[in-house]
Amino acid sequence: MAFPNRLFLTMLMAETWLTREGGSSAVVISSRARLARNLVGLPFPQRADKTTQRHIFQHIIRAAEQVPSLAKAQVLDLPALSRVERQFLMERHLISHEQAFSPGERGVIIGEGEGLSVMINEEDHLRLQAMEPGLALAGAWQRVARLDQELGKLLEFAYMEEWGFLTACPTNVGTGLRASCLVHLPALVLREELTEVLQGITRAGGGARGLYGEGTKAMGDLFQISNTTTLGLSEPEMVAMLERVVTQVIRREMEERQALMAPALRIQTEDQVYRAWGILTQARAISYEETLQLLSRVRLGRALGLDLPVNTGVLQGLMLATQPAHLQILQGKELKTEERDLIRATLVRQWLGNEKRKKGERRCLTDLRKERNESF
Amino acid sequence: MAFPNRLFLTMLMAETWLTREGGSSAVVISSRARLARNLVGLPFPQRADKTTQRHIFQHIIRAAEQVPSLAKAQVLDLPALSRVERQFLMERHLISHEQAFSPGERGVIIGEGEGLSVMINEEDHLRLQAMEPGLALAGAWQRVARLDQELGKLLEFAYMEEWGFLTACPTNVGTGLRASCLVHLPALVLREELTEVLQGITRAGGGARGLYGEGTKAMGDLFQISNTTTLGLSEPEMVAMLERVVTQVIRREMEERQALMAPALRIQTEDQVYRAWGILTQARAISYEETLQLLSRVRLGRALGLDLPVNTGVLQGLMLATQPAHLQILQGKELKTEERDLIRATLVRQWLGNEKRKKGERRCLTDLRKERNESF
């Protein structure tokens, strides 16, 4: 396997919504708004044959090339990419797990800075998506709505006055909007309050999923909170509703963080944080799941004000860069699990170790450049 | 509880067989030879009433005061000591677990440098003991034999031509000699070869026990290997037999250490060692058992030549100083388990952290002095 596509390395180096910090960033890593759209008169992707899928793909690309929001966007034909490259896109939340690993004439359009993207022939013909760092649901919604308007002038979307936008799965019918936040809830997990909070989210009309969305595992105390219904409310009402839910979750998480620093628990909390730091800075082989779990503890420690020679940007950069496909793109070759575990541990030690000497400096990009100094 | 006895603090500060390194010190921490002796015409301690026990105690003390080997020795009346002080003596292997915690007119005579000691009214009237760092069974035997001769001129020991020295327990009849080595076997444990090696020891006429001797738990991959029979061989033959057994164990341990550094296992081994280092240098609360387990991994790492900013003397000093009673003597007060765990973690970080800055220097004593600078 070779990675001729320079795009992936460029993406690795660039500063995106994934490594920037936004509002309420102590708890909310990022906000997302996505719209499901389908072209009128054509079968949904799963019912379409290969030729029809190809026709849909081309039709959408031609429209996308003309809209201002997608100027300088990159179009990727997923079947032409290797499995690792597709996983890389999934790890960056640009495509879904299904889009990455299921067959079909699938594609993705990636806007400048990765903040805007369009999945083609996923469950629906189009999935428009806008991402923002931190808690910024309204901002994400506004950007995806503008893209929707621009594309709507060039493409005819399947729409019924009575139902709204038609989608392959009835849970998306109506607005086709799914808004979500990626939140970090280590204190709720440690204090065993998470189940109760998740029940509260469900009662309020939301849902919680794993790190990579529907059907994926929660790792590193990271959860995606989203709205579950797409009918009955206007888009701004939905966004406002989810923002209220997330604000409640933030409040509960902050309460439990305070409890972790109360006299009775403080030593135990510090112990957990510093042990995580000790392992991260010394391990010689480490899985992604363990890395994420330990980074979660260290991120919590930073949020609690503990003295740790690292900033949140570096931690977030590591959460991203230590993912399996990211490591393989970085190394320019396919790696076995054991090889990845070794390279991951080395990368983590380098970033966290260097950080000690040059406190406060952004490490994510410079270190990656150092790693691959032949290319830059 | 107060610790008026300055002796204990002096012992904490002194360099003894416990922190010095001897022969084969990569595996053997220390060698010990002990002789069981009883006074003729008097009941064994367990059968003697309090008055008789006291009489025996005084009788032995008067003789001990006159022998050259015990010049400058300290006599301790165990019932007059607190529980923590008695445990402190046990942690230094000066008295047995039974001697520390069972009732009776018990005592201990501690020779200069703790290398020679005499338990009074343990299972037998006298238990003479000599300790040496590293593999030095013959040396330990010679020192305890000299003490035996010196005391034998002043005390009449129970002896029968046919049986040899008489003892309370038949397993000690004859020479009354128990020789033993405290060995560190982390590679045999990691490679799951320990059971087989222990069986080999048993077949060769030896036995293996936990850290504090008979009936105590093995911790930190530390084991006491000793002879099990005291009849049928002369003392030098017994010592030579045990030395052969221990030499075999050393050989097996070294083989497995080599296996741990073979390409297939090297990363995993390094990972285990450095994770242990990471936790030790960062934990904020830690039990003694975990400390010992992690110190064991780091000691292994040093022996394997891995780059770790610590020397074996410091590790051995920590194994000793982080014991529960040691911590309490050091702090000058009784401490609850949670308090000890916190102080232990702090002590470990201080020692291992300081070591980084002043590589190669002996830390054990200077740091303890720093800890209690009011006294020195």
What is the interface pTM, i.e. ipTM, of the complex? Answer: 0.85
Count of beta carbons in the 10 Å neighbourhood of residue B202: 12
Question: What confidence tier does A13 reach under pLDDT thresholds 50, 70, 90?
Answer: low
Judge whether A207 and A225 are in contact, CB under 8 Å. Answer: yes
Judge whether B207 and B228 are in contact, CB under 8 Å. Answer: yes
pLDDT at position B5, please?
A: 62
Chain A residues near residue B345 by CB distance under 8 angstroms: 271
Nearest by CB: B279 against A279, A285, A338: A279
Greatest distance between any 2 Cα atoms in chain A: 66
pLDDT of residue B354 exceeding 60, the answer is: no
A284 Cβ under 8 Å from any chain B Cβ: yes
Which residue stretches of chain B are H helix? 6-13, 50-64, 83-91, 97-101, 137-152, 186-190, 194-203, 235-260, 263-280, 288-303, 312-321, 324-331, 337-357, 364-371
B283 Cβ under 8 Å from any chain A Cβ: yes
pTM for the full predicted model: 0.87
Please answer yes or no on whether B284 and A278 come within 8 Å at the CB atom.
no
Size of interface A-B (CB pairs under 8 A): 54
Q: What is the mean pLDDT of residues A103-130?
A: 94
- Give Cα separations from A240 to A101, A234, B257, B306 (angstroms): 33, 10, 62, 57
Q: What is the CA radius of gyration of chain A?
A: 21
pLDDT at position A374, please?
A: 34
pLDDT of residue A129 exceeding 60, the answer is: yes
Classified as helix, coil or strand, A213 is strand
Please answer yes or no on whether A281 and B278 come within 8 Å at the CB atom.
yes
- Smallest CA–CA distance, residue B352 to chain A, in Å, is 13
Element counts in chain A: helices (H) and strands (E): 14, 10
Q: Residues A192-195: contacts with CB within 8 Å, 24+ apart?
A: A193/A252, A193/A256
pLDDT per position as a tens digit, B248-304: 999 999 999 999 999 999 999 999 999 999 999 999 999 999 999 999 999 999 999
Q: What is the mean pLDDT of residues B88-97?
A: 92
Please answer yes or no on whether B283 and A267 come within 8 Å at the CB atom.
no
pLDDT at position A214, please?
A: 67
Question: What confidence tier does B362 reach under pLDDT thresholds 50, 70, 90?
Answer: very low
pLDDT at position B361, please?
A: 38
Chain Cα centroid distance, residue B96: 10
Chain B residues near residue A280 by CB distance under 8 angstroms: 278
Judge whether B53 and B43 are in contact, CB under 8 Å. Answer: no
Residues of chain B above pLDDT 70, percent: 89
Q: Amino acid letter at B103?
A: P
pLDDT of residue B170 exceeding 90, the answer is: no
Domains and CATH numbers, chain A: 6-258 (3.30.590.10), 263-374 (no CATH)
Considering only residues B205 and A200, tell me which one the structure prediction assigns the higher pLDDT: A200
pLDDT at position B309, please?
A: 92
Count of beta carbons in the 10 Å neighbourhood of residue B349: 17
Chain B residues near residue A274 by CB distance under 8 angstroms: 282-284
**What's the CA gap between A129 and A34, in Å, rounded?**
4
Q: What is the mean pLDDT of residues B107-127?
A: 94
Q: What is the DSSP string of A113-136?
A: GGSEEEEESSSSSEEEEEEEEBS-
pLDDT at position B376, please?
A: 27
Give the strand pairing for B159-160 and B164-165. antiparallel
Please answer yes or no on whether A278 and B278 come within 8 Å at the CB atom.
yes
Please answer yes or no on whether A283 and B274 come within 8 Å at the CB atom.
yes
Chain A residues near residue B338 by CB distance under 8 angstroms: 267
